[in-house]
Structure 1
């Protein structure tokens, strides 16, 4: 991961992140209406069950979510989940571009889909870096997975992301470069 101190960009103030957050916030009323009605998405923990059910009706696999990760519906779901976590857990949005040693940093939601490059925003406590963050896109994908990388069954709901120990469960370990190639 790129060292933000080296590049002088605070992960919570990265220009691409701020632009994405403003775009998502402005698009929220239409996204929520298209997703079943603004009244269903009140940023409460219970509203995550509504989003969870909607995602399960829309997508059959985590690969389908990954394939549509730049589409407005998935972008809205990523933002909405992250916003609920921020409001409930006191976290903040962060983005720190990842890069291979010989490449420029990947842009937010990189259209090139470079394997092994992290290009999505996360939410984490203000005192922690993105490496300890919860990546909403990965949470959306994980809820549709049946087994983790070790073959253990997964049975999660989006609301589980609000649990105190969720970040300690190693959920990001389930997404390696092979998964990115399959997405």
Structure 2
């Protein structure tokens, strides 16, 4: 892990730009492999298709995390982030860890990962505004919250209210999926 310097631009990191370029290049093939190429058009409505595909692919958050380096999940991460970027006026970012302030390895396939991984999307001029598409995909597989209450999130519901906190208990929802 390395700490970014004061001039660090989270939208211009070479690993981020390389990853975005790879995903753009591979998108058509990714969409064709899903058999939904004609309707994966980056509209918010198309998130329902990706939601179904993810639920067919993985049964749990842990399974999805374990498969995060596969071409299918990498394509889904990029697709979901692109829908947010295009329709929520967000940008791709590779931001330092919120606790350590260091840049963690970009999709560290060999190392242990947090639920977040990288990259994220967020408001261009707000360093506190960000969503990790991998974690968004993980959230839709969650069936119960930490106290056992049923949870029914979809990609569309998250898109509609990306920073919404259903609990009105004074705690601030961490966009990474946990409480801070």
**TM-score, length-scaled by structure 1:** 0.82
Q: In terms of mean alpha carbon deviation, does 31-40 or 167-176 score higher?
A: 167-176
CA distance in 2, matches of 1:65, 1:41: 21
Does the C-alpha gap of structure 1 residues 43 and 128 become closer, same or farther in structure 2, counting only changes over 3 Å? same
Query: Following TM superposition, by how much is the alpha carbon of 1:31 offset from its aligned partner in structure 2, in angstroms?
Result: 0.2
1:77-113 CA distance string (max 9 Å, x none)? 0000000011110000000243986xx8432101233
Conserved? CA contact 2:51–2:154, under 8 Å? yes
Aligned mate of 2:132, from 132, 135, 144? 135
Aligned residue runs from structure 1 range 132-171, under 5 A: 132-163=129-160, 165-169=161-165, 170=173
Distance 1:24 1:173 in 2: 24
Aligned-pair distance for 1:116? Answer: 4.5
Give the aligned CA root-mean-square deviation in angstroms.
Answer: 2.6
CA distance in structure 2 between the aligned counterparts of 1:33 and 1:116, rounded to whole angstroms: 30
Q: Distance in 1 between matches of 2:3 and 2:106?
A: 16
1:108 corresponds in structure 2 to 106
CA distance in 1, matches of 2:137, 2:119: 13
5+ residue gaps in structure 2? 166-172
Q: Deviations over 1:47-92 (max 9, x none)?
A: 1001111111121111111000011000000000000011110000
Q: State the secondary structure of the residue aligned to 1:138.
A: helix
Count of residues in correspondence between the two structures: 171
The residue number in structure 2 matching 1:181 is none
TM-score computed with the length of structure 2 as normaliser: 0.83
